[in-house]
Structure 1
């Protein structure tokens, strides 16, 4: 059964409209035909059908990653004349035209967001939903039950990492000198000029010659794993604008069931690395990787074969913010 069938089965068949409802609808139609504005009817209480146990199956389907759903790119709602309005002041409500425009809207949204920097003794909390595959590094499972939630806490001074393991909060020292940096103090000092930030992201750190991500990958990792000062986050988006071959993608829905706008860049010749954004607020939502053609990769310990259209990674950030202690949630 697909998600549409599940939703259909969860609701009772609607009752036929009453004669009063038909009369009102006919009168409204005649008013609009004559160019008159119909009177607004009084508000009525709406009674929803009882779903019972069937809603559980629908809720489980809502956690699945769905491909092929058209993205609604108009932000906000509509005004009294039916024109779309933006959810973020100063950002157009019209559909996004390309990756550059999407990134600029994300930058402006970040700049408009209220923000209080964390104290050194506070923690950066992040919560993700991650879809697993049937095999390591292989295509993701189609079973919603294979979606797991990951929660982690990083002390703002960069000294301690905390995470849940077997239902218990565990702590470990954070590795100093990581690339990209993971402590808030280092991230807050990053350049807010896009050109300077891109130059930084394109430079190998001293002593590191292998495994360093590209500028696109490094900037994506900064977005994924941290809570950034608004000016730094805006600079990250504008630095990505300057990376060649970053293009807009549509028709994506993340594992939380929310619609997303995506942009991405081809890596390794067959993989499209994508960043997901909220279509209304342009907040960062997560990332995914999709095979754009068949590929077989030979490794020392395994061979991986993927087909065009396979989703190989899907991570959706559900919550991110500042808390007072490890284990505390938003």
Structure 2
């Protein structure tokens, strides 16, 4: 199948998405926040860490709640084997709205090389997250990012295709987990994901009860999907109402980026960040879109100004590898 045929199939007419499952996910996170961690915690690998619950997760849950949202398999125009793919021929060289940006992203997804992984192989996702200094974050876990008082955390995640093994590495600490006993995590069936090759299938699947909250854009950052499936996910996102376009967004490593996102929690927008030349996803951020005053039970006033950066992540790699520890 040629790329434009795949793109047309990815953006065919489809029904509107059903009710979102975010509230259930947030409720589960809230419950975890206020419970003591078990000696071997049950962990979930599909919840994006969102403001304001970010720093209250237990250590095990925080490590395994795959914080990078939204990555893609190959980064730039050359994959890790050195094989290039074309970025010439974008449907919209200068996209003017969210739909055109997502059409470009779907087209870009169809350009990458792909071989279906074996069950014993791993999805590898690597990201860098901008965080406040540790001491400040411990005291003020829900505050915006403070310029000049930040650190960058490198996050690595390996998930075996058959869901039997998971591993994480946060700033040099490698942890390997195997399903069984008191250790388990939510991982979607890869064979089922491979079948979601049209927006209609993605949206129908999204309406199902999957036993944990899954945002479509978050899933793109946690799984390495076949090109046609990735394109279908962008097609489904294009049908989500209320998208905001921020053409002058800037990523944490200084590269220009096009931001596209949706309002969450009334005053915060979550944005995907796209490379304006290739329309590959290069990160995500959360930004306050209005001033917010909150008074806690002690009478202390918490103020977040409009424009404050709540979270920012750059995605550096997402590939299929053979073993835990492999990065290419």
- CA distance in 1 between counterparts of 2:207 and 2:297 reads 28
- CA distance in 2 between counterparts of 1:306 and 1:147 reads 22
Equivalent runs, 1:2-41 vs 2, <5 Å:
none
Equivalent runs, 1:40-79 vs 2, <5 Å:
none
| Corresponding position of 2:89 | 90
| Corresponding position of 1:320 | 318
- CA distance in 2 between counterparts of 1:242 and 1:279 reads 21
Q: Following TM superposition, by how much is the alpha carbon of 1:114 offset from its aligned partner in structure 2, in angstroms?
A: 1.0
Alpha-carbon spacing, 1:238–1:144, altered in 2? closer, same or farther (3 Å): farther
Is the CA contact (8 Å cut-off) linking 2:257 and 2:276 kept in structure 1?
A: yes
Q: What's the CA shift string for 1:211-235, capped at 9, x where partnerless? A: x35xxxx111111112111111001
Equivalent runs, 1:203-222 vs 2, <5 Å:
203-205=208-210, 212=213, 218-222=215-219
Tell me if 1:253 matches 2:259.
no
- CA distance in 2 between counterparts of 1:299 and 1:230 reads 46
- CA distance in 2 between counterparts of 1:306 and 1:274 reads 18
Higher mean Cα deviation, 108-117 or 158-167?
A: 158-167
Tell me if 1:229 matches 2:230.
no
- CA distance in 2 between counterparts of 1:281 and 1:300 reads 48
Q: Following TM superposition, by how much is the alpha carbon of 1:245 offset from its aligned partner in structure 2, in angstroms?
A: 0.8
Higher mean Cα deviation, 138-147 or 270-279?
A: 138-147
Alpha-carbon spacing, 1:192–1:323, altered in 2? closer, same or farther (3 Å): same
Q: What TM-score do the two structures reach when normalised by structure 2?
A: 0.65
SS of the residue aligned with 2:102? helix
Is the CA contact (8 Å cut-off) linking 2:131 and 2:150 kept in structure 1?
A: no
Q: Following TM superposition, by how much is the alpha carbon of 1:267 offset from its aligned partner in structure 2, in angstroms?
A: 1.5
Q: Following TM superposition, by how much is the alpha carbon of 1:299 offset from its aligned partner in structure 2, in angstroms?
A: 7.2
Alpha-carbon spacing, 1:186–1:300, altered in 2? closer, same or farther (3 Å): farther
Q: Following TM superposition, by how much is the alpha carbon of 1:173 offset from its aligned partner in structure 2, in angstroms?
A: 3.1
SS of the residue aligned with 1:281? coil
Tell me if 1:151 matches 2:156.
yes
| Corresponding position of 2:235 | 238
Is the CA contact (8 Å cut-off) linking 1:117 and 1:229 kept in structure 2?
A: yes
Q: Following TM superposition, by how much is the alpha carbon of 1:148 offset from its aligned partner in structure 2, in angstroms?
A: 1.5
Is the CA contact (8 Å cut-off) linking 1:129 and 1:255 kept in structure 2?
A: no
| Corresponding position of 2:279 | 282
**What 5-or-longer segments of structure 1 have no aligned partner?**
1-74, 77-85
- CA distance in 2 between counterparts of 1:185 and 1:250 reads 36
Alpha-carbon spacing, 1:311–1:154, altered in 2? closer, same or farther (3 Å): same
Q: What's the CA shift string for 1:116-158, capped at 9, x where partnerless? A: 1221111111111101134212101323751121112111211
- CA distance in 1 between counterparts of 2:237 and 2:158 reads 27
| Corresponding position of 1:102 | 101
Q: What's the CA shift string for 1:72-113, capped at 9, x where partnerless? A: xxx99xxxxxxxxx9624314631111000101111111121
Is the CA contact (8 Å cut-off) linking 1:137 and 1:304 kept in structure 2?
A: no
Tell me if 1:142 matches 2:139.
no
Is the CA contact (8 Å cut-off) linking 2:91 and 2:107 kept in structure 1?
A: no
Q: Following TM superposition, by how much is the alpha carbon of 1:166 offset from its aligned partner in structure 2, in angstroms?
A: 6.4
